Structure 1
Amino acid sequence: MRIETCWFCSSKIYPGHGIQFVRNDAKIFRFCRSKCHKNFKMKRNPRKVKWTKAYRKLHGKDMTQDSTFEFERKRNRPERYDRSLAENTLKAIKTIDKVRHTRSMRHIEKRLKPNKRQENERARKELNMSIDLIKAPSVQKLEPSLTLPKIKVKTSEPQEDNRAMEE
């Protein structure tokens, strides 16, 4: 069973599904649904359409150029059986899964990391909404409950005056 990929959105096309378009130069384009086919006929660029995988990879929404995905392509080629090679590949599969998992978790954490500009904008909006809770300085002067009491501290007289009196 051969699973093709859609030319426009890069999703999987299973046998018996999708649309196939053959151009005059014998180039074959496969589409998963009529939505992709219509966008292709309208000459839209998949990298500029937000719902495609090409857009998501280009704008950092999905992981790109992960070397572990190369093994999926190599897996489909038939090779001569070798016991040591089989052992090494089984060991490598475990490490590859671990690496892939850590990379995807790092990618998710980076995507979820809050943006400072967005946080500042949210704080500014919240402050503007609740500005009435903050009293103006003129109102604070009028209400004694809002100001701290002033404490008068007695200081000793300057030393020079005391010396002048003694003489």
Structure 2
Amino acid sequence: MNLTAKNCSFCDGQLKLGTGTMLIKNDGSLLYFCSNKCRKNMLKLGRDSRKFKWTRKYVKGGIKKSR
């Protein structure tokens, strides 16, 4: 039995065992969310986690768009 801790798919925060939400997409990929805030920001609003300071994936200098 595998009891490793997972990371949130949006904010990269660590999930404690028995907490959070796991979403299985139709293509078979797994998404883990620590809170409803993360789930809504990723799925419903389609936001990029690198643009928000409260996430661990935040990039301070900004994201450079490729041309």
> RMSD over aligned Cα, in angstroms?
1.3
> Unmatched 5+ residue regions in structure 1?
61-167
Q: Point out the structure with the larger helix share.
A: 1
Would you say the 8 A contact 1:3–1:13 is kept in 2? yes
> Unmatched 5+ residue regions in structure 2?
62-67
Question: Larger relative contact order (C-alpha < 8 A, sep ≥ 6)?
Answer: 2
Of 8, 22, 38, the match for 2:10: 8
Alpha-carbon distance in structure 2 between the residues aligned to 1:15 and 1:50: 25
Alpha-carbon distance in structure 2 between the residues aligned to 1:13 and 1:19: 9
Q: Which has the larger radius of gyration?
A: 1
Alpha-carbon distance in structure 1 between the residues aligned to 2:18 and 2:52: 26
Partner of residue 110, structure 1: none
- Identical residues among aligned pairs (%): 36
Of 19, 24, 27, the match for 1:25: 27
Partner of residue 51, structure 2: 48
Moved over 4 A (4+): none
Alpha-carbon distance in structure 2 between the residues aligned to 1:24 and 1:48: 27
Q: Point out the structure with the larger strand share.
A: 2
Aligned residues: 58
Alpha-carbon distance in structure 2 between the residues aligned to 1:4 and 1:14: 8
Alpha-carbon distance in structure 1 between the residues aligned to 2:38 and 2:16: 15
Alpha-carbon distance in structure 1 between the residues aligned to 2:11 and 2:24: 18
> 1:123-158 CA distances to partner (integer Å, 9 max, x unpaired)?
xxxxxxxxxxxxxxxxxxxxxxxxxxxxxxxxxxxx
Alpha-carbon distance in structure 2 between the residues aligned to 1:26 and 1:59: 33
Q: Give the TM-score normalised by structure 2.
A: 0.78
Q: Give the TM-score normalised by structure 1.
A: 0.33
